[in-house]
Chain A
Amino acid sequence: MSTYEIKFSVNGNDEILAVRGEETLLRALRRVGYVEVKLSCEGGDCGACAVLLDGVAVNACLVFVAQADGCEITTVRGVGTEDDLHPVQEQLIEKGGVQCGFCTPGIVVSAKALLDENPEPTREDIQRGLAGNLCRCTGYKKIFEAVSAAARQMKEGGDS
Chain B
Amino acid sequence: MSERVVGRPHPIIDAAEKVSGATIFIDDLELPGALTGVALRSPHPHARVLNVDTSAAERLPGVAVVLSKNNTPDAPFGINHKDEAAFCREKVRYVGDEVAAVAAADEATAREALSLIRVEYEVLPTVADPFAALEPGAPLVHDSVAGNIANEFHIKRGAIDEAFEKADATFADEFHTHLAHQAYIEPTGCAAQWHPDGKISVWGCLQSVFLIRTFMLAPVMGMSADDFRVTQTKPGGAFGGKLDVKAALMAAMLSRAAEKPVKFMMSLEEDLIAMRPRMPVHISLESAWKNDGALAGKRVRIVAENGAYSSLSPAIMSSIALRTDNLYKTPAAEIQGRLVYTNIIPSGQMRGFGNVQATYAWESHLDNVADGLGLDPADLRLKNYTEKGDVSLHGWKIASCAVADATRYVVREMDWKAKRARGGKGRGIGLASCIHVSGNKGFSVELGPDDTDPSSGVVRVDEEGGVEIWSGESDLGQGATSVMAYIASEVMGIPVDRFKVPPTDTGYMPFGMGAFASRITLIGGNAVKLAAEDARRNLLDAAAEAMEIPADELEIVEGEVRAKALPERKMAVGEVVRRVGSVVEGEGKWLAGGDVLDKEKYGNPSTTYSFSTHGAEVEVDMETGVVTVLGVCCGHDPGRVINRLGAEGQVEGGVVQGMSYAMMEGLAPLEGHLRGKNFHDYLIATSMDAPPIEHDFFESMDPYGPYGAKGLAEVAINPITAAICNAVYHATGGARIRTLPVTPERVLEAIEEARI
Residue numbers of A with Cβ under 8 A of B are: 30, 35-43, 45-46, 48, 75-77, 80-82, 85, 89, 92-96, 98-105, 108, 126-128, 130-144
| Cβ–Cβ < 8 Å partners of B565 in chain A | none
| Cβ–Cβ < 8 Å partners of B28 in chain A | 35
The reply to whether A139 and B678 contact each other, CB–CB distance below 8 Å, is no
Partner of B17 from A82, A131, A138, A139 at Cβ < 8 Å: A82
For the complex, give the distance between the alpha carbons of A102 and B26 in Å: 11
| Cβ–Cβ < 8 Å partners of B236 in chain A | 38, 100-102
Q: Could you list 21 A-B pairs, sorted by A, with CB under 8 Å?
A: A41-B679, A46-B679, A76-B19, A77-B22, A82-B17, A85-B20, A93-B15, A96-B12, A96-B646, A98-B12, A99-B477, A99-B478, A99-B653, A100-B184, A100-B234, A102-B477, A104-B19, A108-B21, A138-B652, A139-B653, A139-B690
B476 contacts the other chain (CB 8 A): yes
B649 contacts the other chain (CB 8 A): yes
The reply to whether A127 and B678 contact each other, CB–CB distance below 8 Å, is no
The reply to whether B237 and A136 contact each other, CB–CB distance below 8 Å, is yes
Stretch of B276-284, B521-529, B599-607, B681-689 with 4 or more beta carbons under 8 angstroms from chain A: B681-689
| Cβ–Cβ < 8 Å partners of A77 in chain B | 20-22
Which 4 residue pairs spanning A and B have beta carbons closest together? A100-B477, A36-B21, A101-B18, A102-B236
Partner of A144 from B20, B657, B687 at Cβ < 8 Å: B687
| Mask of B625-667 contacts with A, CB within 8 angstroms, 1/0 | 0000000000000000000011011011111110000000000
The reply to whether B656 and A140 contact each other, CB–CB distance below 8 Å, is yes
> Which chain A residue shows the least CB distance to B25?
A102
The reply to whether A137 and B678 contact each other, CB–CB distance below 8 Å, is no
| Cβ–Cβ < 8 Å partners of A45 in chain B | 678-680
| Cβ–Cβ < 8 Å partners of B123 in chain A | none
The reply to whether A134 and B652 contact each other, CB–CB distance below 8 Å, is no
Given known contacts A40-B185, A93-B11, A137-B477, A142 and B649 CB-to-CB distance under 8 angstroms:
yes
B9 contacts the other chain (CB 8 A): yes
B754 contacts the other chain (CB 8 A): no
Given known contacts A38-B186, A40-B186, A100 and B648 CB-to-CB distance under 8 angstroms:
no
| Cβ–Cβ < 8 Å partners of B22 in chain A | 36, 77, 81-82
| Mask of B3-19 contacts with A, CB within 8 angstroms, 1/0 | 00000010110111111
The reply to whether A136 and B687 contact each other, CB–CB distance below 8 Å, is no
Partner of B268 from A41, A75, A143 at Cβ < 8 Å: A41
For the complex, give the distance between the alpha carbons of A98 and B16 in Å: 9
Partner of B184 from A89, A93, A98, A102 at Cβ < 8 Å: A102
The reply to whether A134 and B688 contact each other, CB–CB distance below 8 Å, is no
| Cβ–Cβ < 8 Å partners of B654 in chain A | 139
Partner of B478 from A104, A105, A134, A137 at Cβ < 8 Å: A137
Partner of A98 from B18, B267, B652 at Cβ < 8 Å: B18
CB distance from B725 to the nearest CB of A (A): 19
| Cβ–Cβ < 8 Å partners of A82 in chain B | 16-17, 20, 22
For the complex, give the distance between the alpha carbons of A13 and B9 in Å: 38
Partner of B185 from A108, A130, A135 at Cβ < 8 Å: A135
Given known contacts A43-B678, A93-B19, A136 and B684 CB-to-CB distance under 8 angstroms:
yes
For the complex, give the distance between the alpha carbons of A134 and B688 in Å: 10
